Copies of this chain bind each other. A is one copy, B any other.
Amino acid sequence: MKTDIEIARSIALKPIDEIANQAGIPVGSLEHHGKHIAKVDLSEIPSTPPSGKLILVTAITPTKAGIGKTTVSIGLALGMARLGKRAVVALREPSLGPCFGQKGGAAGGGYAQVLPMEKINLHFTGDFHAITSAHNMITALLDNYIYQNRNNPIDGLSEVLWRRVLDINDRALREVVTGLGGSVNGIPAESGFDITPASEIMAILCLATSLEDLRRRIENILLGYTKSGTPFTVKDLGVAGAITVLLLDALKPNLAQTTEHTPAFIHGGPFANIAHGCNSILATRMALAHSEYTITEAGFGADLGAEKFYNIKCRTAGLSPALTILVATLGGLKMHGGVDEKELKAPNVEGVRKGLANLDRHIENLGSFGQTVIVAFNRFATDSDEEIEVVRAHCASLGIGFAVNTAFSEGGAGALELAQLVVDTIGREPSKPLTFTYPLEASIEEKAQLLARKIYGARSITFSAKAKKQLARISTHGWDRFPICVAKTQYSFSEDPTAYGSVRDFDLEVRDVVINTGAEVIVLVLGTLMRMPGLPKSPQAQRIDFINGFIEGLS
């Protein structure tokens, strides 16, 4: 089979005006970025709730290679189009960090991609760069404020919380000391860089419900505390307008196309382990207003991405999905069934059977939100029919819809079974209105306990001394009302990335608490999760090249 980029290259793209027309978006609402990408004006989002049906694609606990949610999401849109349905995808933008590090891209795969994949995987429309700029501009202005007030006994900060970001994998930037080399270079201070998808500005961009809401959230970003202990925000720094201006274009959703020329909104890209893991609310709303079915995904497994999608994104945006699709692969199930990572491609019915415990946990969890769930089986060439039957029979025994998806190798034709199942299931038994895991009125500790028990299956969750100090502040300043966003390994229900399957009754500790008063979430950090990835021994960058007029090495 051809590589992803060879397939992408073999497809003659349609002008974006034609794609927009399919979605009922007039050309006047487009800001073109070349012939095949456009930003869409926010006026294309109606103020009344759009009538389209929302479908969430999530997955079992993933392997290192992923489960293929993006490919299934895109494939489903293609399948639905073949059934004559107006279906669009709303997806996240890839980050340059993993693209040049381990993964090599994040725009679907095979015959189920969003295009032009080279542009989408590289700078795209510059949204991540704008976020990086805005984030670091705040830091520079904050450091300058502290520097200019260094001899002022009243103004100035006693504690700085705001760091810097770059859209790159660079472990050396995790912890740095800035302001060295003498007083002309500022004041020595501990700082560090997170990857741009971990920036609070990214979360804000994705959770803002309008330009006004973006600005309000920017104003509210907590940067530190003054010498008298008062929270110091971007509003106090007097630069919320300037930061908003840097994000004016980035706030507009991007329109691209799939391998079968259906519309694709691709906007925002927080990671789901260190942030809330969903594309922007504005892109989802825009998609809903321009389709019968909007297919969106949430990062990593359902315990991380889907949970945050419901409890944070849907709650903020007033959305309620008609259906949730749980993607599973044999590789993933076997890993959870205790099969060695090197043996995942070899047939192993018993391994699959054991791994179903992970699938069951996610089905149960998704049900707790009132969601109707179906399983999309993402088939690989090495999968045996016998193994697949194990999963199909299991789902049948649970009364859960099941469909095999082969969109990776066949495009929309490989997603017809899934598409029909989706249409039928939504028609017959759509999800109930969302039930959240915790009420916003609960304290942060109560929220953490409800989440840990109900979704992770933990026995206990405790807070470190450092985390408790933050809880006290949260309570003092009335920030308890925000939802929580857990930063945690994506490889397990627990905080141990090697505890596969369906682990239960473990103990969790919140190591640190990050207060995001702009994004309006309280981030609870579990384990030793990195907010800035490192590069592997042989980074993908060594395989990316430009040869005979073609970009190589993206996938």
List 29 contacting pairs A-B, 8 Å CB cutoff, sorted by A: A31-B35, A32-B35, A96-B137, A100-B137, A123-B129, A123-B246, A126-B126, A129-B129, A129-B132, A140-B168, A140-B170, A143-B170, A144-B534, A147-B172, A148-B537, A171-B186, A173-B178, A175-B181, A175-B185, A176-B176, A176-B178, A176-B191, A239-B544, A241-B546, A241-B553, A242-B542, A242-B544, A244-B545, A245-B545
Q: Is A139 an interface residue (CB 8 A)?
A: yes
A545 to B246, CA, bound (A): 10
Q: Is A22 an interface residue (CB 8 A)?
A: no
Assess whether A189 is in contact with B168, with CB atoms less than 8 Å apart.
no
When distances are taken between beta carbons in the complex, the residues of chain B under 8 Å from A132 are 129
A96 to B134, CA, bound (A): 10
Assess whether B177 is in contact with A239, with CB atoms less than 8 Å apart.
no
Q: Could you say which of B191, B215, B239, B535 contacts A140, with CB atoms under 8 Å apart?
A: B535
Interface size grouping (class) on chain A: 35 or more
When distances are taken between beta carbons in the complex, the residues of chain B under 8 Å from A144 are 170-171, 534-535, 539
A34 to B30, CA, bound (A): 8
Q: Is A166 an interface residue (CB 8 A)?
A: yes
Assess whether B168 is in contact with A186, with CB atoms less than 8 Å apart.
no
Assess whether B241 is in contact with A545, with CB atoms less than 8 Å apart.
yes
Distance from A232 Cβ to chain B, minimum over Cβ atoms (Å):
15
Interface string of A174-201 (1 = CB under 8 A from B): 1111111100111101010000000000
Q: Is A348 an interface residue (CB 8 A)?
A: no
Contacts A126-B126, A126-B129, A171-B185; A242 near B136 (Cβ below 8 A): no
Interface string of A526-552 (1 = CB under 8 A from B): 000000001101010110111100011
A223 to B178, CA, bound (A): 22
Distance from A106 Cβ to chain B, minimum over Cβ atoms (Å):
16
Distance from A17 Cβ to chain B, minimum over Cβ atoms (Å):
11
When distances are taken between beta carbons in the complex, the residues of chain B under 8 Å from A169 are 140
Distance from A304 Cβ to chain B, minimum over Cβ atoms (Å):
22
When distances are taken between beta carbons in the complex, the residues of chain B under 8 Å from A136 are 166, 168, 170
Interface string of A227-252 (1 = CB under 8 A from B): 00000000000110111111011000
Assess whether A245 is in contact with B122, with CB atoms less than 8 Å apart.
yes
Assess whether A177 is in contact with B174, with CB atoms less than 8 Å apart.
no
What residue in chain B is nearest A545 (Cβ atoms)?
Answer: B241
When distances are taken between beta carbons in the complex, the residues of chain B under 8 Å from A141 are 100, 535, 539, 541
A191 to B173, CA, bound (A): 10
Q: Could you say which of B123, B176, B534 contacts A130, with CB atoms under 8 Å apart?
A: B123
Assess whether A133 is in contact with B167, with CB atoms less than 8 Å apart.
yes
Q: Is A33 an interface residue (CB 8 A)?
A: yes
Name 5 extra pairs, CB < 8 A, besides A123-B249, A176-B178, A245-B546.
Answer: A123-B126, A129-B130, A137-B541, A147-B534, A241-B545
Q: Could you say which of B122, B215, B248, B547 contacts A246, with CB atoms under 8 Å apart?
A: B122
What residue in chain B is nearest A97 (Cβ atoms)?
Answer: B140
A169 to B169, CA, bound (A): 23
Assess whether B546 is in contact with A168, with CB atoms less than 8 Å apart.
no
CB contact list, A64-106 vs B, under 8 A: 96, 100
A97 to B243, CA, bound (A): 13
Contacts A96-B137, A123-B129, A136-B166; A245 near B180 (Cβ below 8 A): no
When distances are taken between beta carbons in the complex, the residues of chain B under 8 Å from A180 are 174-177
Assess whether A178 is in contact with B186, with CB atoms less than 8 Å apart.
no
A144 to B542, CA, bound (A): 12
In the A-B complex, the 8 residue pairs with the closest CB atoms: A241-B545, A129-B129, A175-B181, A140-B170, A172-B186, A242-B544, A144-B535, A242-B541
Interface string of A31-55 (1 = CB under 8 A from B): 1111100000000000000000000
Assess whether A238 is in contact with B542, with CB atoms less than 8 Å apart.
yes
Contacts A96-B133, A126-B123; A546 near B33 (Cβ below 8 A): no
When distances are taken between beta carbons in the complex, the residues of chain B under 8 Å from A541 are 137, 141, 239, 242-243
Q: Could you say which of B166, B171, B542 contacts A184, with CB atoms under 8 Å apart?
A: B171
Contacts A126-B123, A242-B545, A245-B122; A179 near B185 (Cβ below 8 A): no
What residue in chain B is nearest A554 (Cβ atoms)?
Answer: B245
